[in-house]
Structure 1
Amino acid sequence: MNNQWTFGHSGGTTNGTSTILDSEPDSDRVAVTVSSYGIGIATPTETETRILITQH
Structure 2
Amino acid sequence: MYGLPSIGWMRFLKSRNIPDGFQLKTVTVRQKADGWYVSIRSAIRWARKLVLSISV
Q: TM-score, normalised by structure 1?
A: 0.31
* More strand per residue: 2
Of structures 1 and 2, the larger Rg is shown by: 2
